[in-house]
């Protein structure tokens, strides 16, 4: 009798345990699936088509690396430009800068290609132990738009395990193993390489086949990192870069123009220039939500770029940029990216008037800073 009662209690306990485990499984599954949802993009009426990377390199077809490229083709002769946002998915101004362009521009001469989720797999996971938010929200006049805060690395679901040491294939330069999943260490990629190398190779094929003249890669960096507020490029871009620097300085905008060291391999600003006719430029803006000093990760930190610890470090002169109560708002960082590619295009046009690229609808630096980037983003869809 006692045995029976005891057995019955165990059965109930087992049932309850299964119910809890089942609940946890389904809740966890939903969180997992939600983390794979990509933020929405609402292209301007100037969009010609959405291309996929597999059009340029068959090897990514049917994989998560077969990303979208937004094409704005004027149908009139002129050079072609490629812009990447989201090579690193913990650098919000990269995505938001590229999306702002997709949602506003009209191309009147030449062509513009934009990949706002350059390594989309990095948007489907996070960096352990960093306390990152899954999503962040930007105010627009029509409501809040959401963006993803992801990882700087390819999701290990697609490329695993990391080697102890990552050897860059073309140069044999060695790096930490996890860098094998960093798109900005895998250029120029290779067709029979890893997921990340294939992704880089697909973009290289796009640049070669579409004869891209100028390519830009929007990044951010911690305030304690020396290469910041910078535009980095290889020697062959010097003339265009000098013209852009002059144009920017005429508007009192201070950018560090940094020549890409010849012996630093795997980087966009080095290898794209060596393996394609394209002139590559990599832009960095200061991101207080990225470095080691910041406090709790909040939506406010990501969007306003204000953080007490960084303000203190700025007052002590420990940072490579000014930092005070004004912070480094996302709108200002996006404005800097957009202004820099605009002036690079202007400089290219001055040097190559017969191949000029004419782009309308680019939000001005002052408007982005004064009105906020949300004023230039499409209202969210009402569900
Ligand atoms: Zn980066």
Comparing 3-17, 48-62, 97-111, 127-141, which segment has the lowest mean pLDDT?
3-17
Average pLDDT on 276-301 reads 95
Model confidence over 224-256: pLDDT tens digits? Answer: 988 889 999 999 999 999 999 999 999 999 999
pLDDT of residue 130: 84
Average pLDDT on 114-128 reads 95
Residue 369 C-alpha to ligand 1 middle, in angstroms?
22
Which of these, 201, 258, 193, 263, lies nearest to 67 by C-alpha position? 201
Report how far residue 343's alpha carbon sits from residue 246's, in angstroms, rounded to the nearest whole number.
9
Q: Which residues have a Cβ under 8 Å from the Cβ of 342 and sit 6 or more positions away?
A: 359, 362
State whether residue 87 is helix, strand or coil. Answer: coil
Residue 266 C-alpha to ligand 1 middle, in angstroms?
13
Q: How many residues does the chain have?
A: 383
pLDDT of residue 336: 98
pLDDT of residue 351: 98
Q: How buried is 355 (Cβ within 10 angstroms: 0-12 exposed, 13-18 middle, 19+ buried)?
A: middle
Taking 50 as the threshold, does the pLDDT of residue 1 lie above it? no
Q: List 167's β-bridge partners, or say none.
A: 174
pLDDT of residue 226: 83
Cα dihedral sign for 103, 106, 107, 111? positive
pLDDT of residue 7: 53
pLDDT of residue 383: 56
pLDDT of residue 291: 87
pLDDT band at 127; cut points 50, 70, 90:
confident
Quote the crossing angle between the two packed helices 238-250 and 330-351, to the nearest 10°.
120
Residue 350 C-alpha to ligand 1 middle, in angstroms?
29
Residue 60 C-alpha to ligand 1 middle, in angstroms?
23
Report how far residue 317's alpha carbon sits from residue 95's, in angstroms, rounded to the nearest whole number.
30
Cβ proximity of 215 and 83 under 8 Å: yes
Report how far residue 291's alpha carbon sits from residue 65's, in angstroms, rounded to the nearest whole number.
28
Residue 219 C-alpha to ligand 1 middle, in angstroms?
4
pLDDT of residue 227: 85
CA end-to-end distance (rounded Å), the chain: 58
Residue 91 C-alpha to ligand 1 middle, in angstroms?
6
Model confidence over 76-109: pLDDT tens digits? Answer: 999 999 999 999 999 999 999 999 999 999 999 9
Residue 119 C-alpha to ligand 1 middle, in angstroms?
11
Model confidence over 307-362: pLDDT tens digits? Answer: 999 999 999 999 999 999 999 999 999 999 999 999 999 999 999 999 999 999 99
State the Cα torsion 125-129-130-131 to the nearest 10°.
Answer: 80
Which of these, 116, 186, 122, 113, lies nearest to 152 by C-alpha position? 122
Distance of CA 74 to the CA centre of its chain: 25
Taking 90 as the threshold, does the pLDDT of residue 288 lie above it? yes
* Buried-exposed string 174-198: b where 16+ CB fall within 10 A, e elsewhere: ebeeebbbbbbbbbbbeeebbbbbb
pLDDT of residue 25: 65
Residue 284 C-alpha to ligand 1 middle, in angstroms?
7
pLDDT of residue 11: 73
pLDDT of residue 139: 97
Residue 283 C-alpha to ligand 1 middle, in angstroms?
9
Cα dihedral sign for 372, 376, 377, 381? positive
Model confidence over 151-202: pLDDT tens digits? Answer: 999 999 999 999 999 999 999 999 999 999 999 999 999 999 999 999 999 9
Residue 288 C-alpha to ligand 1 middle, in angstroms?
13
């Amino acid at each position: 009798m006692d045995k029976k009662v005891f057995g019955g209690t165990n059965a109930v306990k087992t049932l309850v345990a299964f119910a809890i485990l089942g609940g946890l499984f389904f809740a966890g599954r939903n969180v997992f699936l939600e983390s794979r949802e990509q933020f929405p993009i609402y292209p301007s009426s100037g969009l010609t088509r959405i291309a996929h990377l597999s059009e340029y390199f068959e090897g990514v077809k049917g994989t998560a690396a077969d990303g979208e490229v937004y094409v704005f083709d004027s149908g009139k002769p002129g050079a072609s430009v490629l812009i990447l946002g989201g090579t690193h998915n913990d650098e919000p101004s990269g995505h938001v800068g590229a999306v702002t362009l997709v949602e506003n521009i009209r191309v009147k001469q030449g062509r513009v290609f934009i990949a706002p989720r350059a390594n989309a797999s990095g948007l489907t996971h996070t960096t352990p132990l960093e306390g990152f938010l899954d999503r962040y929200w930007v105010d627009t006049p029509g409501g809040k738009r959401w963006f993803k805060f992801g990882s700087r690395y390819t999701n290990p679901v697609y490329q695993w395990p990391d080697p102890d040491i990552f050897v860059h294939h073309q140069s044999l330069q060695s790096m930490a193993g996890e860098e094998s999943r960093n798109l900005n260490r895998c250029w120029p990629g290779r067709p029979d390489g890893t997921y990340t190398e294939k992704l880089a190779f697909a973009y290289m094929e796009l640049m070669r086949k579409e004869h891209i003249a100028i390519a830009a890669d929007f990044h951010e960096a911690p305030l304690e990192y020396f290469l910041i507020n910078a535009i980095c490029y290889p020697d062959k871009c010097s003339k265009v870069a000098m013209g852009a620097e002059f144009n920017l300085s005429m508007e009192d905008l201070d950018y560090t123009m940094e020549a890409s060291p010849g012996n630093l391999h795997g980087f966009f600003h080095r290898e794209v220039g060596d393996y394609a006719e394209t002139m590559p430029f990599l832009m960095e803006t200061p991101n207080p939500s990225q470095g080691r000093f910041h406090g709790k990760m909040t939506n406010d930190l990501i969007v306003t770029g204000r953080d007490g610890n960084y303000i203190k470090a700025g007052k002590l002169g420990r940072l490579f940029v000014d930092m005070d109560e004004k912070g480094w708002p996302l709108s200002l960082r996006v404005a800097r990216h957009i202004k820099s590619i605009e002036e690079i295009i202007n400089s290219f046009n001055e040097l190559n008037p017969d191949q000029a690229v004419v782009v309308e609808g680019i939000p001005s630096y002052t408007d982005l800073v004064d009105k906020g980037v949300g004023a230039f983003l499409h209202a969210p869809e009402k569900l």
